[in-house]
Amino acid sequence: MISVRNINKSFDGRQVLFDVNLDIQEGHTQAIIGRSGSGKSVLMKHIIGLMQPDSGHITVDGIDINIIPYAELRKVRRNFGVLFQGGALFDSMDAFENVAFPLRTFTSKSESEVRAEVMECLGMVELPDVGKKMPSELSGGMQKRVALARAVALKPRYILYDEPTSGLDPETSNTIDELIKSLADQLNVTSIVVTHDMHSVLNIADRAAFIHEGRMHWTGTIEDLHASDDKVLRRFVKANEYQIGV
Amino acid sequence: MKISNELKVGLTIIGATVIFILGVRYFEDLPLFATTYELKAEFEDAGGLIPGNLVRVSGVSVGSVNSVVISQETGKVEIGFHVDRNIIVTEGSYAIVTGIDALGAVRLDLFLGSPSAPQIPEGGLVDPGKGSDLLGDLSASAPEMFDKVSGVLDGLDSVLAEAGTMLSQPESDLRRTMSSMESAVAELDALLASERGRVDSIMSNVESVTGSLDSAMGKDGEKVSQVMNHLGTTLTTLDAELARLSSVSDNLNVLLQKLNEGQGTLGLLINDPTMYHKMDSTLDSINSLLADFESDPAKYLGEMKLVDLF
Amino acid sequence: MILNPIRALGKYSQLLYHAFGALPEFGTYRVNLWQQMMRIGIDSLPIVMLAAAFSGAVTTVQTAYQLVSPLIPRSIIGSIVVPSMILELGAVVTGFILAGRVGARIAAELGTMRVTEQIDALEAMGLNSIGYLIVPRVLAGIVMFPVLYVAASFVGIGGGMLVGHFGGFVPIGEFLEGAREFFQPFDPVFGLIKSLVFGFTITSISCFKGYNTSGGAEGVGRSTTQAAVASCVFLLLADLVLAATLL
């Protein structure tokens, strides 16, 4: 259970988040949608403590991550797996090493155990034989899948996805969506998907939160989203449908 | 076998440490592996010695100076230095600071004592030597020498200054002396001009001798030795002639002296106006005689021809 | 405007504070430390030694050129070249080369990791990114710079000596005699201190610049340039401060 309470954030005097509230229920897949620059990625970084709010609090499983010391925050973060927009694979390591990295750093597993788990994770993202390749040798979609394998390696309770389908062709986008869905089912994790891709939201999410110009404009289930007559939300959804239609 | 990063880094660090330690020991004039032996010496004057300067035995570097400090108690300069442990510094050894301070090349020369004498213990005191090398001495005594030269120059200066003031006063003795000397020299000049005739005749004698020598050589070579004998006597005569010239000069000197003192006829001549007038009239008559001679030389030359024929 | 440098100094000190706070977590950066020692230290050896050899040689030739008086012994060349190498050139030549080579590399590496969110990824995993990325680089700088300094001084003196000998300026024996005559035991100690400070200065400034990169590929380029320039400037400043305080 993650709850975001009255978050305000500004950069260099320009406010990007205004009094944002959000509750993310255990076991759900929560989509955070909005136009580019609406502040949804900033909100996501607040959730894992990569950014500190100017005011407001974020609690993860009842722990206020804004007041605990850094060492404690790092423990809380180990409950999270994060898939960054560009994958953020360590480019000094090959795909196998990337996935093995959290296992080696945070567990005392033997080398053979690590190997077995890495292969399992790579199998889960349907890339069992890219282990020896460097990130630069992989396509954008493959990089994201390896990054996903790395994000789930420690069996996190929460997985955060930052624009998982942006910059990918529709077919690869579908593959990623399927992966997110199957991971949610298999590992029973709480997923938070930050995206502007309505197609993928309708595919994978249970709930959606719409951020407009730094404010939490609308929250509800996917069913509510279809039924909503909010003008701004409808415009956003329609613009996406138009894009998809083309 | 692939060498791991740890091993490569470790080896490099060890290598650098070894180079550093050995390098510093080398430049500190410490033997690379052997140990050294600390000694001290006390001097009145360190002569520009600084830590790091070499210590030499018979011109071989065996160590270097560690410290140069002025002792609070004795007021002397205490020099600490180290030498190679192989060098046995015995009682009776002594140390001297040598080299030229101005060039920065100062060192400590160590003169070892008798090998049979007991060794000076670690940290012991080595005697300061009395002597010093020539160049060092020279540079040490240079200031003194300079003072002396300076003194002499000062004296000369004051003498010249005195002479200057004396010369500037018209009634001073020196000035009078100078003026009489001047006139004396002028007289001497005149006398030498009159003696010139004699010198000329001597020279023509020599010429004629050479001429007869020439003719003798031309006619008969055997007579040469005889001629040479003649020449010898002639030269002797010439010598005597020159001696006479010399004595004439001497006389002239005496004459000048007397002249200066106002003695003798010439002196009177100079000092007495009546004598001058008489002289004047005499010269007038000579002048008329000469005029006569010029107008009718044959009257006189008749006698002259006789001389000519001879 | 005037507050910006002060703000930067504050951020820099904060970064160093966190870095030193992460020192006890040796486990997180152990592997990285060896890797960085390789990259900063061992991989830089050839270029540092090359530059040092040439600066030693040039110092010898120039010293010989300037000494024309027959009154001055040729061994003075050694007395000038060796302390120059040990006191100044050994550390400064190494510093300048590494400001370009290592400083730029560190800033580019960390800058790219920042803009591609790799640093965020490390943090999100629960790792101390400062401890993981910056501590090993700065430590490697502090440890390996003195090593490089020793290598540079050694090769520089050797280069000067050989050029002096084969160039006909001063035979090796006289060169070394002159060097030993005026050797001050504090000189190499000062050089070591200097190289240690340079190592810290260059790596910490480059880490700071790289770690705080923003603005994509252009930002990485900017950070890289700034890291190399700032490293050089602060290296000169540190050189002066050290000379003024320790000599």
The confidence score (pLDDT) of residue C147 equals 95
Domain boundary pick from A155, A175, A196: A155
Domain assignment of residue A88, yes or no? no
Q: What is the pLDDT of residues C145-166, one digit of tens each?
A: 999 999 999 999 999 999 999 9
Lowest mean pLDDT: which of B61-75, B164-178, C145-159, C174-188?
Answer: B164-178
Chain A residues within an 8 Å CB radius of C127? 74, 105
Contacts of C128 (CB under 8 A, 6+ apart): A70, A74, C18, C22, C25, C28
Lowest mean pLDDT: which of A68-82, A124-138, B77-91, B249-263?
Answer: B249-263
The confidence score (pLDDT) of residue B308 equals 47
Q: How far is C179 from chain B (nearest CA, A)?
A: 7
Residue predicted with more confidence, B294 or C23:
C23
* Angle (CA) B130 B133 B139, round 5°: 105
Please list the residues that pair with B119 across neighbouring strands.
Answer: B90
What does the DSSP assignment read for B218-231? HH-GGGHHHHHHHH
Domain assignment of residue A85, yes or no? no
How far apart are alpha carbons A227 and A100 in whole angstroms? 45
Domain assignment of residue B13, yes or no? no
* Angle (CA) A185 A186 A191, round 5°: 55
Question: What is the mean predicted confidence (pLDDT) over B265-290?
Answer: 63
Whether residues A64 and A184 share a domain: the answer is: yes
The one-letter code for the residue type at B145 is: M
Q: Mean pLDDT over all residues of chain B?
A: 71
What subunits make at least 3 CB pairs under 8 angstroms with B?
C
Residue A21 has pLDDT above 50, yes or no: yes
Residue B137 has pLDDT above 70, yes or no: no
Q: Do residues C122 and C133 touch, judged by C-beta distance below 8 A?
A: yes
Residue predicted with more confidence, A17 or B66:
A17
Runs of H (alpha helix) within chain B: 5-27, 134-168, 173-219, 224-261, 264-271, 273-295, 298-309
Q: What is the pLDDT of residues A98-138, one digit of tens each?
A: 999 999 888 888 989 999 999 988 988 888 888 889 999 99
Q: How far is C151 from chain B (nearest CA, A)?
A: 7
Residue with tokens 């006619």: B219
Q: What count of Cα atoms within 13 Å lies in the side-chain half-sphere of residue C226?
A: 18
Domain assignment of residue B22, yes or no? no
Lowest mean pLDDT: which of A216-230, B68-82, B192-206, B218-232?
Answer: B218-232
Q: What is the pLDDT of residues B188-234, one digit of tens each?
A: 777 767 767 776 776 777 677 666 656 655 555 555 566 566 666 76
Q: What is the pLDDT of residues A162-208, one digit of tens each?
A: 988 888 888 888 888 888 888 888 878 899 999 888 888 888 888 89
Q: Is C147 on the interface with B (CB under 8 A)?
A: yes
The confidence score (pLDDT) of residue A176 equals 86
Q: What percent of chain C has pLDDT over 90?
A: 62
Domain assignment of residue A84, yes or no? no
Q: Do residues B61 and B21 touch, judged by C-beta distance below 8 A?
A: no
Q: What percent of chain C has pLDDT over 70?
A: 100
Chain A residues within an 8 Å CB radius of C124? 48, 50, 77, 80, 82, 84, 160
Domain assignment of residue A63, yes or no? yes
The confidence score (pLDDT) of residue B174 equals 59
The confidence score (pLDDT) of residue B209 equals 66
Q: How far is B9 from chain C (nearest CA, A)?
A: 6
Are C126 and A45 inside 8 Å of each other by CB? no
Whether residues A116 and A215 share a domain: the answer is: no
Q: How far is A56 from chain C (nearest CA, A)?
A: 21
Q: pLDDT tier at C52 (50, 70, 90 boundaries)?
A: very high
Of the candidates C148, C157, C184, the residue with the CA atom closest to the CA atom of residue C55: C157
Q: Mean pLDDT over all residues of chain C?
A: 90
Domain assignment of residue B190, yes or no? yes
Strands B54-57 vs B60-70: parallel, antiparallel or unpaired: antiparallel
Parent domain of A32: 2-79+158-245
Q: Mean pLDDT over all residues of chain A?
A: 87
Complex confidence, ipTM: 0.88
Candidate from B8, B51, B105 with C-beta closest to C42 = B8
Q: Do residues A147 and A131 touch, judged by C-beta distance below 8 A?
A: no
Q: Do residues B65 and B53 touch, judged by C-beta distance below 8 A?
A: yes
Parent domain of B39: 34-132
Whether residues A61 and A165 share a domain: the answer is: yes
Candidate from B27, B53, B105 with C-beta closest to C82 = B27
Whether residues A68 and A131 share a domain: the answer is: no
Domain assignment of residue B15, yes or no? no
How far apart are alpha carbons B152 and A119 in whole angstroms? 106
Residue A148 has pLDDT above 60, yes or no: yes
Chain B residues within an 8 Å CB radius of C150? 16-17, 19-20, 23
Domain assignment of residue A191, yes or no? yes
Q: What percent of chain A has pLDDT over 90?
A: 24
The confidence score (pLDDT) of residue B307 equals 46
Domain assignment of residue A99, yes or no? yes
Q: How far is A87 from chain C (nearest CA, A)?
A: 8
Chain C residues within an 8 Å CB radius of A91? 112, 116, 118
Helix, strand or coil for residue B90?
A: strand
Candidate from C73, C147, C182 with C-beta closest to B12 = C147
Domain count, chain B: 2
Domain assignment of residue B148, yes or no? no
Residue B138 has pLDDT above 90, yes or no: no
The one-letter code for the residue type at C208 is: F
Domain boundary pick from A124, A155, A186: A155
Q: What is the CATH number of the domain that holds A21?
A: 3.40.50.300
Whether residues A124 and A182 share a domain: the answer is: no
Token couple for C181: 């005559």
Q: Which residue of C has its CA nearest to A73?
A: C126
Question: What is the mean predicted confidence (pLDDT) over A5-27?
Answer: 89
Candidate from B12, B19, B28 with C-beta closest to C183 = B28
Q: Do residues C153 and C191 touch, judged by C-beta distance below 8 A?
A: yes
Q: What is the pLDDT of residues C161-209, one digit of tens each?
A: 999 999 888 888 888 888 887 788 888 999 999 999 999 999 999 999 9
In this structure, how many other beta carbons lie within 10 angstroms of the beta carbon of residue B58? 9
Q: What is the CATH number of the domain that holds B108?
A: 2.40.30
Number of B/C CB contacts below 8 angstroms equals 70
Q: What count of Cα atoms within 13 Å lies in the side-chain half-sphere of residue B128?
A: 16
The confidence score (pLDDT) of residue B104 equals 58
Element containing residue B212 per DSSP (H, E): helix B173-219
Q: Phi then psi for A82, rounded to 5 degrees? A: -125, 130
What subunits make at least 3 CB pairs under 8 angstroms with A?
C
How far apart are alpha carbons B161 and C245 in whole angstroms? 59
For an interface test with B, give the residue of C29, C154, C183, C186 to mutate (most B CBs within 10 A).
Answer: C183
Residue B109 has pLDDT above 50, yes or no: yes
Token couple for C54: 């040439």
Domain assignment of residue A38, yes or no? yes
Q: Are chains C and A in touch, 3+ Cβ pairs below 8 Å?
A: yes
Question: What is the mean predicted confidence (pLDDT) over A68-86?
Answer: 89
Candidate from B17, B28, B53 with C-beta closest to C185 = B28
Domain assignment of residue A102, yes or no? yes
Q: pLDDT tier at C141 (50, 70, 90 boundaries)?
A: very high
Please list the residues that pair with B97 across neighbouring strands.
Answer: B108
Token couple for C163: 């050029």
Whether residues A170 and A227 share a domain: the answer is: yes
Whether residues A114 and A19 share a domain: the answer is: no
Chain B residues within an 8 Å CB radius of C196? none
Q: What percent of chain A has pLDDT over 70?
A: 98
Pick the most confident of A31-40, A212-221, B12-21, C148-157.
Answer: C148-157
Domain count, chain A: 2
